[in-house]
Structure 1
Amino acid sequence: MAPAITLAAETELSAANTGFMLICSALVMLMTPGLAFFYGGMVRVKSTLNMLMMSFISLGIITILWVLFGFSLAFGDSHGGLIGWTSDYVGLSGVGNAELWDIYNIPIYVFAVFQLMFAIITPALISGALADRVKFSAWALFITLWAVIVYFPVAHWVWAPSGGWAFDLGVIDFAGGTAVHINAGAAALGVILVIGKRVGFKKDPMRPHSLPLVMLGAGLLWFGWFGFNAGSWLGNDDGVGALMFVNTQVATAAAMLSWLLYEKIRHGAFTTLGAASGAVAGLVAITPSGGAVSPVGAIAVGAIAGLLCAMAVGLKYKLGYDDSLDVVGVHLVGGIVGSLLVGFFASGKGQSEVEGLFYGGGLTQFWKQCAGVGAVLAYSLVVSALLAFVLDKTIGMRVSEDDEVAGIDQAEHAETAYDFSGAGGGAARTTAPAPAADTASKKVDA
């Protein structure tokens, strides 16, 4: 998935690489439930189930779209560098079991399912910005349209070896800084500018209801991200995937520490929410850059991203946009930081011989990164805002104010996350037991 491919062409299927990629695909799939827990713990109790469902529905909708035509649009033969199409990929009907992907020694089926997991989690990332106020039916329709109009074309630009324009330009995005994180973060910003703020924004307390759930979700994301990143080299033949694995761990640790240090200096405490958010910021930033930088470079990328993302999350209060769970501050900003820092920290000893400014390569790669970042950000922001506007003016994007205040879980799903009605209270346990005779008579009467 990186633009400068050094892996030699193989003519035979590799059982080792195929097995590795299937495991990586499963790890990336786990990230979507992990994201659901991460987001679910960050909202108030009355929105917990809705937040979980906004991630889980993506597993259903995007899977079907991908098999029917999404894979063909994203990775089929290029048309003008903007969109793909290969009829054999429609419904995956013309793909043989052992037919290999491009120059790699893994089956097309394996590459398709690995990329499917990326397509699933990307729209799910957007949901965190819209917590507490969006109709579930409108959300389902939005991600259906967004995947077709935004994600599939952008994935083609960035990763399609058949002629995606960003791929051919030499934009380095190892595993999704532009196609996933900037794409989702810009979309989140576009939608929230259209649908507006939550009731009580900047007035009512909107604290996370379950920080243990947040930490569980962050842990699952961190775990799954090794498949997300290391798997994006599509094999283990030259050690680049191993470099990415190491850099994923290193950058995440650096970002978490950087975020916590900023938080302590700025707010006087090390919080669990800060630790979880810092870790995710590091994961986001190393995603595009980890195959190009050294482990020391990964420390720099993570530390810079942790600091800048921590600073960015407060902008919503200053600028007045209601990004509920900081998708813009973490994913958009983290994706931009990680993508642009390739132009400074690329060592020339990873996925390609491209060198950044600090390694004597000048600013050539930096400007290429700027082109990729700018194009994806602008396209996703504008198209996502237009989609949200059309849906809002037709079927309506938001629940009613009464439903929002009472709780979107009950209004949209007829359920609540926690039911304590059957739990015994302290008073009941201290009540004296009835005499044996009375108890027996009550049983007979019953």
Structure 2
Amino acid sequence: MLGLAFLLCVHTAHALATPSAWIRDTWNLLVLGDLHMEDDMASHHQARQDCWNACQKLSLMSPSSLSVKETIDCLQDARAGDLSPEQLELLWKYKQQGDWLNTFMVSLGDLGRKDIRHEPGDAGTTLSFQMAKEFFDGFQMPYNLVTGNHDLEGLDEFASDEDNLKAWMDCFNLETPYCKRYIGEKTVLLGMSTVRFRDAPYSSHEVHIDDDQIQWFLQTVEEHPASEGWKILVASHAPVMGSGLRVLQNVHVTNGCAWLNHCSDNRNVFIRTIKDNPQIKLWFSGHFHLSHDYPDSISKVGSCTFVQVGVMGPVSTRDGNRQTRLVQGNEQRLRIYSINHHLSTPDDVNVRLDVEIDLETDEMKWNQPVEEADRDNWFQAYVPREEDGCYLETPDGSIADAASVNSKVCWWHMADGKVIGLHQGQLVEKWNSARSGKRGDEEH
């Protein structure tokens, strides 16, 4: 029987029947993109505080009207003799984890600073691993991590990929480059790491998952079938080929490092496994230093939702936004949030709900962050300026010659007031000139 104090707190039949069962499969997961620590870590520390504030602001999801904290308070008010063994176990777990009950973190790698100086602290060095561990430990919650392509770039310190990878594992007290953590009653988080840089036959920055990890991944998926109600989340530095996430064509696609095992014959094993296993619900990746403010920063294939994760640091962001993902889940639904560090203040963290997923129907519902009419503007080029280079006022003549067509950005102001933008040999935009006071008539 439940204690009187607990009965007064709980208002739904479901909560009365299983007051602690839903908590065991209810969780928060912070997902950190490319860390790339900087000389000035003020922004990273501010971002860590934002993560704390976001977890406290968004209490763990509950199918009742109560938060996890409120339910715990009710259990604490009840007599011990009136509590079930499960409820006593939950209180013991809360005593260990405090307000971070069922809250976890995973890092997607690339720990060291972005610029290479050939000195300790560079990406892939022992010092970069040690500094990152100190930063992660400061979150004061359980965490896992995987390597990114830059984490094996300690060329001045290590002679081989094996030595570099071992130093990373030793620093974080790991036995393998892959990881598994149960974050809920029927929810498991898996992570896979890149294991080669010097030995890469094509692109040294390819995020390569070796055969041992792939076999472990396939076996682990098989051991957690959809028929038994399992939900699998996966973390890797780069996304899966076929995921549909935004990639950088002129950087990562050209260099053969846009997707997992991009240059390898087994690159399609991941998407095939996802399509054959509906229990794989989420797949997180970073690698591109892009924000969450693009429609294709989240995509869906079958039952799996692919999630692009941004960066914390101002030096490594490509579009000015600094963001971390926060995912909340229980047996019924998943919510994917953006923690917007660039919009947060010490007194108010900016958290945005991006997507909610119904786990029973696999339906994904977008929570529009901006008005629908403004979503097209996310793809517009900005108003051209003279300092951009190749700023042509004369409507006559060619935009660019054959020698420069693939290397220059060119803005050509035509006689009717419209502007054509040329980038990488492609026509990227046409709109009315800003000088005419109009922004309509776009062509993308």
| Structure with more of its chain in strand, by fraction | 2
Shorter chain as normaliser: what TM range? under 0.3
* TM-score, normalised with respect to structure 2: 0.28
| Structure with more of its chain in helix, by fraction | 1
